[in-house]
Amino acid sequence: MIKPTDSVCAWHRLGWVLGKQLFSVAEARQVAKRRLPRMMFDFIDGASGDESLRDLNSAMIDHIRLMPRVLIDISERAMSASILGQETGLPFGIAPMGMCALSWPGADFSLAREAAKRRIPLCVSTASSMALEQVIELAEGHAWFQLYADQSNGFVDELIDRAIAADYKVLILTVDVPIPSVRTRDKRNGFSFPMNWGASQIWDFASHPRWSLETALHAIRHQMPQPMNYATSSQKTTFVRNASRAGADWNFLATLRDRWPGKLVVKGVQSVEDAFRIKTIGADAIYVSNHGGRQLNAAPVAIDSLVEIRNAVGGTFPLIFDGGIRNGEHVIKALAAGADFVMLGRSVMYGLGAGGAAGLGQILDLIEAEASSVMGLLGCRNIAELGAANLAENYETLMLRTMLERAAE
């Protein structure tokens, strides 16, 4: 049986008691930037190339206008949703992210507890810093497993078997990381795994004593942060951060569809042609994402891809979305633009970096409250009522033009 761990030291708890509170994701990002070693913050915050796509993802969602409706009784609103046959407490979950414990020690424990509390899916990365079996137990079943076609076929087969044995109902195959991208901040900081220690890294950690002390204490009680699905593997596969994952080809997807007994989601899709083929192979949902700008910096903005793929695959095929979500308004806009469900990435990590478990809880509370308020101002009483009709005419016209242009090709 897993025992709860408290990775928050006394002075950290005291700080929150004395009134440190987060009022936005942007504020959480600034606090996390101060609290975390530069190397760790840049790993979370950074992207590929000149990092322009990361910011464009959010900016383009900001440009979407919504049409408020009036004289509707919205005094009672339900934020529950349904995705892949599962009922969730909220219309958003937590995207797969590797090595979350670099944001704050014990992060995976906090994420799993929040998933259980809020009945939302926590996507467990192949490179998670807690073993997949532990996460789904702590999350009380509210967990999906994310798979990379990693270095070793034996390791991949073992992960699939472990996910089945642990009773995961949803498997996410990530396909947009066939080769590593160039992330300038990580290169500048000498970020690697295992860690390469030099004078700059030592100074970075020494100048951020709160994070460093918490990490050291957690390591004494448990272990240093590491990719636990690798560490617990019978295959003895070593985690290599920049390893090729090019094994995820169309044949691999078809074979995985035959082998996996539950719901299968394909993540990292932006091409309409790819979406059609994935749907034909039998995936249960497509996860529209550009990896938060961490892969191809010149890729389309995520929300634009969502609109195009929704128009192409029709209104009933499940689409999951991430990319630039920084508040509850963004969640509602993505749902109105065609997503069935939304995932949070950096927003969650900023909360953890700013305040550990308490910061994570505050960010999730904020996004839920904002989403509920925006939904009510649109005249909607539940998530199922959201759709293209909630978009202001300028963006609805853009969607229609995109659909007509696609049909004419």
- Cα–Cα distance list, 237 to 156, 280, 386, 400 (Å): 10, 33, 45, 49
Q: What kind and span of H or E run contains 82?
A: strand 81-83
* C-alpha–C-alpha distance, residues 108 and 97, integer Å: 10
Is 142 assigned a catalytic role? Answer: no
* C-alpha–C-alpha distance, residues 99 and 224, integer Å: 11
Buried b (16+ CB within 10 A) or exposed e, 298-334: ebbbbbbbbbbbbbbbeeebbbbbbbbbbbbbbbbbb
Of 12, 208, 218, 291, which one is the catalytic site residue?
291
3-state secondary structure at position 123: strand
* C-alpha–C-alpha distance, residues 268 and 177, integer Å: 8
How many CB atoms within 10 Å of residue 104? 31
**Cβ partners under 8 Å of residue 122, min gap 6:** 93, 94, 111, 112, 114, 115, 135, 139, 142, 143, 144
**Cβ partners under 8 Å of residue 104, min gap 6:** 7, 110, 211, 214, 352, 353, 356, 357, 359
133: closest CA among 231, 51, 236?
Answer: 231
- Catalytic residues, by residue number, are 291
